[in-house]
Amino acid sequence: MTGFALQQYLDFAYIAAVVLFILSLKLLSSPASARWGVLAGEIGAALAVVATLFHPEIVQYRWILIMLVIGAGVGIPLGLVHMTAVPQRTALSHAFGALSAAMIGVAEYYAGTAPVTRFAMGEIALEVIIGSLTFTGSLIAAGKLQELLPQRPIVYRGQNIVSLSVLGAALALAVALVVNPAHAVLFPVMVIVALIFGVLLVTPIGGADMPTVISLLNSYAGVSAALLGFVLNSKVLVVAGALDGSSGFVLSVIMCKAMNRSFTNVMFGAFGQVQATAAAGKEERVVRSATPEEAAAILSAANKVVVVPGYGMAVAQAQHKVRELYDVLTKKGVDVRFAIHPVAGRMPGHMNVLLAEADIPYDRLIEMDEINGDFPQTDVALVIGANDVTNPAARTDHASPIFGMPILDVDKAHTVMVIKRSMNPGFAGIDNPLYYLPQTLMLFGDAKQFAGGIVRELGGGH
Ligand code: NAP
């Protein structure tokens, strides 16, 4: 094969990979086609990697093979983690992606074939700064989500000024390097300052905001990869990085909207600090609880039931029991639908994925905006391990930290039943007035066991 023909094949493979990436994003936007979206993304990535391995510049494969084995050794166990650990696993993936982008930038600076031009120096510096801060920021995010680090925001006076000064120092070093790319001593200092900035950026953000931060870091990793594409003159990397960067950014915007928060509030608001007022002065209020038998009787007498799943369903892995409950109620002629809040659980699409795993028909999953108007005509809203996304204080209490967050209006249903283990709060750490309403019944217990108990009472299950 002549060099020219090989280059044409490679270009063709890269164009096909880019088309598959775009198709993947499109297919991922609906639960019905999401599996195909994942497949398209995987084939696109495999094509891009294999095509790159055919590059004539590669003189030997030994190190590539060793690194592939090491990468697979780390990646395969990471791919097998439990669904509830996916946010921190994703943060680790961004950390690795950003680290590799930063390291390639470092290699280009020190080992590039030609002396670095000013323009290339600007690209390398930006790429290395973004890659380095994304690396440490993502590690801190993963540590917080895995509870290896304190979840609460760690803040001190003048913090934002210190953080911005550190970022300013990294950028000043980058400018100095652009002015004189041969000033090699500045390069490692710039990398270290950027690494420190990543830590400072994420440490003051509370655990509750980590999924949004991870999505934003995903976007940074994409930008870093796109810049790397310019440095290496790789069009596929430019496009893939740009897709990653923009989709991560759009996702962060969607999450902020779903929580009625601004970007600056997420990044600098230190949301999730212990609130003295919220913790103090809780007067004794009455809650009513019910047994699985009572819950089963109420459900079988209902015409319309809306199930509201949340983080607790994921923790308990109750989705298969919920499917049995859906089956037995549907057989009895009850209309059962599922209300999906955009930030229920710990990552976007969390509930869709779990319910799809249990083969619940997609057309039974209804988005928040569409189902909210139906709650006044709903006989029973059955909340399974959800809390914050049903908290009516978001509509009524101006002092609440989640005031303004759109919620599922379950309190408007005729009867509300809530499966959870205790009166403990959810991720936002605040009390839920829903539990004290006269139409609410608390079903205390683990989501899987309690849902299983109701199914047995209804004569269903295997
Ligand atoms: P949540 O408010 O965190 O509440 C989950 C509830 O599940 C808890 O109150 C807990 O109560 C219960 N639970 C835990 N384990 C359980 C088990 N084994 N069985 C039964 N219940 C169990 O969850 P959510 O309503 O899904 O709200 C999601 C929260 O995450 C929101 O604050 C949202 O802003 C935040 N967030 C989500 C995303 C996202 O992308 N999804 C992104 C950013 C932030 P007990 O301890 O009493 O059982």
Give the model confidence (pLDDT) of 131-171 as tens digits.
Answer: 999 999 999 999 988 889 887 888 888 888 999 999 999 99
Going by alpha carbons, the residue nearest to atom 33 of ligand 1 is: 343
Q: DSSP letter for 308, please.
A: E
CA of 315 to the centre of ligand 1 (A): 9
Q: Which of 337, 346, 267 is nearest to 310 (CA)?
A: 346
Q: How far apart are CA 214 and CA 203, in angstroms?
A: 13
CA of 427 to the centre of ligand 1 (A): 6
CB 329, CB 405: distance < 8 Å: no
From the list 244, 388, 409, 431, the catalytic residue is: 388
In this prediction, residue 277 carries a pLDDT of 45
In this prediction, residue 300 carries a pLDDT of 95
Write down how long the chain is: 462
Q: Which of 83-87, 266-270, 346-350 has the lowest mean pLDDT?
A: 266-270
Q: How confident is the model at residue 130 (pLDDT cuts 50, 70, 90)?
A: very high
Q: HSE of 196 in the Cβ direction (CA atoms, 13 Å)?
A: 15
CA of 150 to the centre of ligand 1 (A): 18
CB 195, CB 136: distance < 8 Å: yes
For residue 14, CA distances in Å to 2, 44, 49, 53, 82 come to 19, 8, 9, 12, 33
Q: How confident is the model at residue 208 (pLDDT cuts 50, 70, 90)?
A: confident
Active site includes 335? Answer: no
In this prediction, residue 1 carries a pLDDT of 54
CA of 312 to the centre of ligand 1 (A): 6
Q: How far apart are CA 307 and CA 298, in angstroms?
A: 14
Is 311 close to ligand 1, i.e. is its CB under 6 Å away?
yes
Q: For residue 40, how many other CB atoms are within 10 A of its CB?
A: 21
For residue 385, CA distances in Å to 264, 351, 419, 443 come to 30, 11, 6, 10
Q: How far apart are CA 200 and CA 203, in angstroms?
A: 6
pLDDT at residue 376 is higher than 90: yes
Is 321 close to ligand 1, i.e. is its CB under 6 Å away?
no
pLDDT at residue 278 is higher than 80: no
In this prediction, residue 279 carries a pLDDT of 44
324-342 b/e (C-beta count within 10 Å ≥ 16 → b): bbbbbbeeeebebbbbbbb
Is 269 close to ligand 1, i.e. is its CB under 6 Å away?
no
pLDDT at residue 178 is higher than 50: yes
∠ CA(27), CA(29), CA(32), 5° rounding? 70
pLDDT at residue 329 is higher than 80: yes
pTM exceeds 0.75 for this model: yes
Q: Ligand 1 pocket check: which of 253, 402, 420 to mutate, most ligand atoms within 8 Å of Cβ?
A: 420
Read off the pLDDT of residues 294-313 as tens digits, 9 standing for 90 and up.
999 999 999 999 999 999 99
Q: What number is the average pLDDT over the span 76-93?
A: 87
CB 409, CB 387: distance < 8 Å: no
Going by alpha carbons, the residue nearest to atom 18 of ligand 1 is: 316
Q: How far apart are CA 405 and CA 340, in angstroms?
A: 15
Is 196 close to ligand 1, i.e. is its CB under 6 Å away?
no
> Which residues, other chains included, contact 429 with Cβ-Cβ below 8 Å and sequence gap of 6+?
208, 272, 274, 275, 278
In this prediction, residue 262 carries a pLDDT of 78
Is 388 close to ligand 1, i.e. is its CB under 6 Å away?
yes
Query: Strands 440-444, 304-309: parallel, antiparallel or unpaired by DSSP?
Result: unpaired
Q: Ligand 1 pocket check: which of 82, 145, 307, 311 to mutate, most ligand atoms within 8 Å of Cβ?
A: 311
Q: How far apart are CA 28 and CA 245, in angstroms?
A: 16
pLDDT at residue 461 is higher than 90: no
Q: What number is the average pLDDT over the span 376-396?
A: 96
For residue 7, CA distances in Å to 4, 57, 113 come to 5, 12, 21
Amino acid occupying residue 458? L
Q: How far apart are CA 132 and CA 188, in angstroms?
A: 11
Q: For residue 155, how many other CB atoms are within 10 A of its CB?
A: 14
Amino acid occupying residue 214? I
Q: Which of 387, 246, 236, 365 is nearest to 310 (CA)?
A: 387
CA of 426 to the centre of ligand 1 (A): 5
Highest mean pLDDT among 253-257, 357-361, 375-379, 402-406: 375-379
Q: Which of 57, 168, 178 is nearest to 109 (CA)?
A: 178
Read off the pLDDT of residues 392-412 as tens digits, 9 standing for 90 and up.
999 999 888 788 889 999 999
Q: HSE of 282 in the Cβ direction (CA atoms, 13 Å)?
A: 12
CB 415, CB 348: distance < 8 Å: no
Q: For residue 76, how many other CB atoms are within 10 A of its CB?
A: 9
pLDDT at residue 2 is higher than 80: no
Q: For the chain, give the mean pLDDT.
A: 90
